[in-house]
Amino acid sequence: MHLLAAAAAPTFEVSHWTFDWVGLIPAIMAASFLITLFFGKRMGKHVHVVGVAAVSASFVLALITAGAWINATNSHEEDHSDDAAAITEFAGGETIDGVDEIAFVEAGEEGKEVEARPQAVVNSWCWFDSSDAPNSEVDCSDRAAEKPISIGTLVDGQSVLLLVVVTFISLLVHVFSTDYVGGDRRYTHYFAFLSLFTSSMLFFVLSASTLQMLVGWELVGVCSFALIGHWWEDKPNSDAALKAFLTNRVGDVGLLIGVTVLFFAAGNSFDIRTINHAAVVGDIGSGTLTVAALCLMAAVMSKSGQFVLHTWLPDAMAGPTPVSALIHAATMVVAGVYMIGRLYPVFWEGLAIPGSSINAMALVGGITVVGGGLLAFVQDDIKKVLAYSTVSQLGYMVLALGVGAWTAGMFHLFTHAIFKACLFLGAGALSHACHHSFDMKKEMGGLRKLMPKTFATFMVATGALIGIFPLAGFWSKDEILVGTSGNGDYKIPLAMALIGAALTAAYMTRVIMLTFFGEYRGHDTPHDPGPRMMIPLQILAVLAIVVGFLNIPKSFPVIGESIGLTLEHWIEPGGGDVFPVIDHGKASFAMAIIATLIGAFAIFLTYSYYAKLFAKNPRATEVTGGLRDNNKFARGFHTLLVEKYYLDHFYQGVIADGTKGWLARGTYWVNQNIIDNVINYAGKGAVVSGGFIYRFIDQGAIDGTVNGAGQTALGSGSVLRRIQSGRIRQYATLMFGAATVLAAVFIVAV
């Protein structure tokens, strides 16, 4: 692999009290969960205070941690600017201005930056004493040794980024929820699980070992299940919850196997850095690594909604909308992407297709981008459109990681969390105003004038999602496209990414047109929600504008040179022996312009389609007598999309029913022929032996014994009842007498 040949970025150690105490943040949320659960009923409708207070505290702590981390990444350069400059010259790059010493070798394959990176800060405690395990000489008392089964926190750029994102979105969702689900019959339950989810997600994000990741992974799955099925009285909701849980179990099995394989492959260690190190330096055989990576990829595909295991994610929209925003758009579903980033060497080396420069992850991501995007067109439920959009965007992240653009993937994860949370909360605000319906065709339309503030935030977030310059999504998507075009031989994934960009633009324009333009198709007059829902939306909309600037290319005129690639500088891990060196494409205007033109063209097409439609009839939602009705191929494709590629039919009809069918027939045969015969013969034998036993043993021996025992008891009773005089003194006399006799026997015998 060319990664191994790359120059290792030098690392330096950093420390700050927050890096050691960061475990407090999930602990606070866990405490909030317990308090809400046990004392929530007494607090009544004020129960959200606990959750909001806890998540605010967590957010503040996360910000302090992030500040400390940013300081740490910068601190080194001031001390060692000479060294950095020396390294820069060695690499032949150009030093930019002394603001920070990032150096790029501008050209092609060999392009590696050698900026010094802070080392990840790991604090771990012994979880199990595994000293009995074979080949292990480690026990809990040996603090200095590397502990195979430990629990702890790993703080680096990636975990700090997620720490901030999760606590921030969670805070906004908590606030939004106080209005949105106010007066709900399970208000306490709702906030308890929001807290538990936040805690579990942070626990997962901060994991220092794969075993701990597994625990966090399962915990977020459980919370997702409980919150999707929050209104379980309606059958579709509990079905959706079950579907999400069961689909995720498919991946969880993969995760369990993958973690186990990696444990043994990395020399009895769950430690993430040890595993990464082993994968980077080649201690793990390529076959083993491929098996482990494939198993883990199954987990990623189920949790992060990659094609073919994405089917649960749109159904998960049955849960309350703030939950969809927090769990099924911004945080939980990126757990898979996060895991790829965490165990990047494993995925990168394990999924590389031999004999080519293509990584299988890029193909999975590319297919998901297009497949998810197409499905978004046939949904009338605004949340389902957004859900398929999430699937598609998660595809972008996996694609980015697949082509080696680690930073681009993480950057897109970050921006996507912001604008997708804004879109989902916006959809919640719309539904809140439109009789709790999410049907764009029946209950919405023309909301631009009725809900102007919501419209503004929704438009900004949509722009960010489509990737309109200069909103957040533009920068992150551009970075992914650049990475795809620059690294390796990724023509097909690049084409898919560009098609995905067009699809995104088109289906989001469709949403905007159906929801905000035309004429209102519901009844009553919807209006903007109250401040507890509006303010989170506005905050997210503002961020959707600005966060993209955190990682704009250096080559961007005027502003790029001073603040360019800030996020990359903050979050990228260092150390060639625990992480592969990340490839960076060279930012190109051509790519940005092509993507923007494609998006603009898609927007134009969709807009003109609806503009024409609304000109004829402002209440119309689709053209009649159009392509779909006249063209057989188009109709077939439409049906394929409506039926979601028949994947659900396949899972239910072929896999579940198929298994059920022969399994049932086989079981029936075994039942009829084997078990029944055994039982019949056993029965006949029992009848014969029963007759014998009745005549001889029961009537003769047992009855005789029983009668005899009865007679004996009667006789002895009539004799012995005389002692039972009821007089205590007589009892005492007998007792002392007996004790005396026993004492005498004792003395004589001993």
Partner 1 sequence: MFLNQFLLFAAVLFCIGVYGVLTRKNGVLVLMSIELILNAVNINLVAFGAFNGTVNGQVFALFVIAVAAAEVGVGLAIVLLIYRNRRSIDVSEANLLQG
Structure tokens at 636: 């077939």
Applying CB under 8 A, among 42, 523, 616, 727 the residue interacting with partner 1 is 727
Q: Which residue, 723 or 750, has its beta carbon nearer to partner 1?
A: 723
Rounded least distance, CB 198 to partner 1, Å? 54
CB atoms within 10 A of CB 164: 19
Half-sphere exposure of 570 (CA within 13 A, CB side): 21
Q: Which residue, 714 or 723, has its beta carbon nearer to partner 1?
A: 723
Rounded least distance, CB 706 to partner 1, Å? 24
Angle of helix 531-546 versus helix 157-180 axis, rounded to 10 = 150
Query: Contact region for partner 1 (CB under 8 A) — 336-344, 426-434, 495-503, 724-732?
Result: 724-732
Rounded least distance, CB 214 to partner 1, Å? 52
Applying CB under 8 A, among 721, 747, 748, 749 the residue interacting with partner 1 is 721
Separation in Å, CA 12 to CA 15, 32, 80, 249, 268: 10, 36, 11, 40, 27
Pairing of strands 121-126, 117-118: unpaired
Q: Which residue, 558 or 723, has its beta carbon nearer to partner 1?
A: 723
Closest CA relative to residue 379, chosen from 427, 432, 416: 427
Applying CB under 8 A, among 626, 724, 738, 741 the residue interacting with partner 1 is 724
x-or-dash pattern for partner 1, window 671-710, by CB under 8 A?
A: ----------------------------------------
Rounded least distance, CB 733 to partner 1, Å? 5
Rounded least distance, CB 740 to partner 1, Å? 9
Q: Which residue, 354 or 726, has its beta carbon nearer to partner 1?
A: 726
Rounded least distance, CB 711 to partner 1, Å? 19
CA distance linking residue 507 with residue 392, whole number of Å: 12
Applying CB under 8 A, among 86, 732, 744, 745 the residue interacting with partner 1 is 732
Please tell me the chain's helix, strand, coil percentages from 3-state DSSP, rounded to the nearest 5: 70, 5, 25
Q: Which helix (H) or strand (E) holds 469?
A: none
CA distance linking residue 244 with residue 155, whole number of Å: 30
Instruction: Number of residues interacting with partner 1: please give it, by CB under 8 A.
Output: 11
Q: Which residue, 616 or 727, has its beta carbon nearer to partner 1?
A: 727
| Beta carbons of 496 and 369 less than 8 angstroms apart | yes
- In DSSP terms, which residues pair with 117 in a beta bridge? 11
Q: Which residues of 19-29 are buried (b: 16+ CB within 10 A; e: fewer)?
A: beebbbbbebb
Q: Which residue, 664 or 738, has its beta carbon nearer to partner 1?
A: 738
**The residue type at 683:** G
The phi and psi torsions of 118 (rounded to 5 degrees) equal -70, 145
Q: Which residue, 682 or 714, has its beta carbon nearer to partner 1?
A: 714
Q: Which residue, 133 or 743, has its beta carbon nearer to partner 1?
A: 743
Q: Rule CB under 8 A: say whether 646 interacts with partner 1.
A: no
| Beta carbons of 171 and 322 less than 8 angstroms apart | no
CA distance linking residue 366 with residue 524, whole number of Å: 43
Q: Rule CB under 8 A: say whether 733 interacts with partner 1.
A: yes
Q: Is 123 helix (H, G, I), strand (E, B) or coil?
A: strand
Q: Rule CB under 8 A: say whether 728 interacts with partner 1.
A: yes
Q: Rule CB under 8 A: say whether 716 interacts with partner 1.
A: no
Q: Which residue, 611 or 741, has its beta carbon nearer to partner 1?
A: 741
Q: Which residues of 238-254 are buried (b: 16+ CB within 10 A; e: fewer)?
A: bebbbbbbebbeebbeb
Q: Which residue, 711 or 725, has its beta carbon nearer to partner 1?
A: 725
Applying CB under 8 A, among 689, 703, 736, 742 the residue interacting with partner 1 is 736
Structure tokens at 285: 């055989």
Closest CA relative to residue 258, chosen from 185, 336, 330: 336
Structure tokens at 748: 């004589």
Closest CA relative to residue 341, chosen from 420, 392, 398, 293: 398
Rounded least distance, CB 720 to partner 1, Å? 8
On the 0-12 / 13-18 / 19+ scale of CB atoms within 10 A, 165 is buried
Structure tokens at 487: 């690294």
Rounded least distance, CB 717 to partner 1, Å? 9
Q: Which residue, 42 or 721, has its beta carbon nearer to partner 1?
A: 721
Query: Contact region for partner 1 (CB under 8 A) — 322-330, 336-344, 597-605, 725-733?
Result: 725-733
Q: Which helix (H) or strand (E) holds 195?
A: helix 187-205
Q: Rule CB under 8 A: say whether 747 interacts with partner 1.
A: no
Applying CB under 8 A, among 74, 639, 712, 725 the residue interacting with partner 1 is 725
Query: Contact region for partner 1 (CB under 8 A) — 270-278, 329-337, 356-364, 721-729?
Result: 721-729
**The residue type at 131:** S
Query: Contact region for partner 1 (CB under 8 A) — 335-343, 517-525, 642-650, 722-730?
Result: 722-730
Query: Contact region for partner 1 (CB under 8 A) — 129-137, 187-195, 505-513, 718-726?
Result: 718-726
Query: Contact region for partner 1 (CB under 8 A) — 62-70, 136-144, 171-179, 717-725?
Result: 717-725
Q: Rule CB under 8 A: say whether 729 interacts with partner 1.
A: yes
Interacting residue ranges for partner 1, rule: CB under 8 A: 721, 723-729, 732-733, 736
